[in-house]
Amino acid sequence: MPLTPAHAAVAPLLQRIVRPLGFTVPMSALVIGTMTPDFSYLLRLAPGGGDWHTKVGVFVYCLPAGLAVWLIYRALIAPALLRLMPPGLGAAAASRVAAGPTYRLIPGAIVAIFAGVISHDVWDGFTHSADWGVRLVPVLHRNLHYGATGMVRWYLILQYLSSVVGLLVVAAILWQWVAAQPPEARQVPAGERAWRVRDAGLLLLSATAGAALNSARPHPSSISWSLGYASVGAMAALAVALFAYGIFDSLRCRFASGEASVRVTQCREAPT
């Protein structure tokens, strides 16, 4: 598979395509939609296959799961992450959050998730051995020979190459957005750095632990399978950690509303 987060690279293009339909299209729903077919990997803690990548799976699994994840993200995870960012960047990111009550955004979110899922399946169609794209372009099933006996099929080359390119595009989009903000927006006020580093470090530690634990599970003996299990474990652990962090942050804001602190002020200012 192309590494799941790489699929998010097409989200800005999808937003331009879907926007003329007249819906408010949340970017977060587009990004989640591009990754939703691979959610089955996170549930099974193993890469490869699954009914989520079928035509029936688009409607039976992907749309309900994608919408549920988007609702959880919008209600819990996004506000917590906005508060975790440097205040200036958090405010800039908050200004891009789709405005309005969440229930009114659901039709646009469904359209966005569906568009993201379709883009994922189209991408995978040209990077997996038995898929429609490889059958449409037979050269992708041919071998590229290297060395004396080595060979690799072109669709597999495209799979790994597209993963790298996709991740670089996602990184470039984020880097460009951060660079476009004024220098002061990237600054963390004195006294706030410790808890931000601690919270971000715990999230990263969770992903690292998930990668290590899942790659230690029994799996076919090859580097590609080891990396696949590690990446799936990291993504699954990070998803659980973000969900837990969102709940913790929401409870903290609710029960600390009477305190006079910077973090509580951010609780009042962050959009939901």
Residue located via tokens 């220098």 = 183
The 10 Å Cβ neighbour count of residue 247 is 14
Single-letter code of the amino acid located at 256 = A
pLDDT confidence of residue 258: 58
Nearest to 202 by CA among 238, 164, 158: 238
One-letter amino acid for residue 120 of the chain? H
In the prediction, which pLDDT does 78 show? 96
Identify the burial level of 79 via C-beta atoms within 10 angstroms of its C-beta, where 0-12 means exposed, 13-18 middle and 19 or more buried: buried
Mean pLDDT in consecutive groups of 10 residues from the start of the chain, 272 residues: 82 91 89 96 87 93 97 96 95 91 94 96 88 87 76 87 94 96 92 93 98 94 89 96 97 74 58 48
Checking 72-77 for CB contacts under 8 A at 24+ apart, the result is 72/243, 72/246, 73/28, 73/32, 74/26, 74/28, 74/102, 74/272, 75/102, 75/246, 75/272, 76/243, 76/246, 76/247, 76/249, 76/250, 77/242, 77/243, 77/245, 77/246
Which residues, other chains included, contact 168 with Cβ-Cβ below 8 Å and sequence gap of 6+? none
Tokens of 99: 């405005």
pLDDT given for residue 2 in this prediction:
47
**C-alpha atoms less than 13 angstroms from C-alpha of 72 in its C-beta half-sphere:** 15
Q: Specify the DSSP element, H or E, that contains 155.
A: helix 154-180
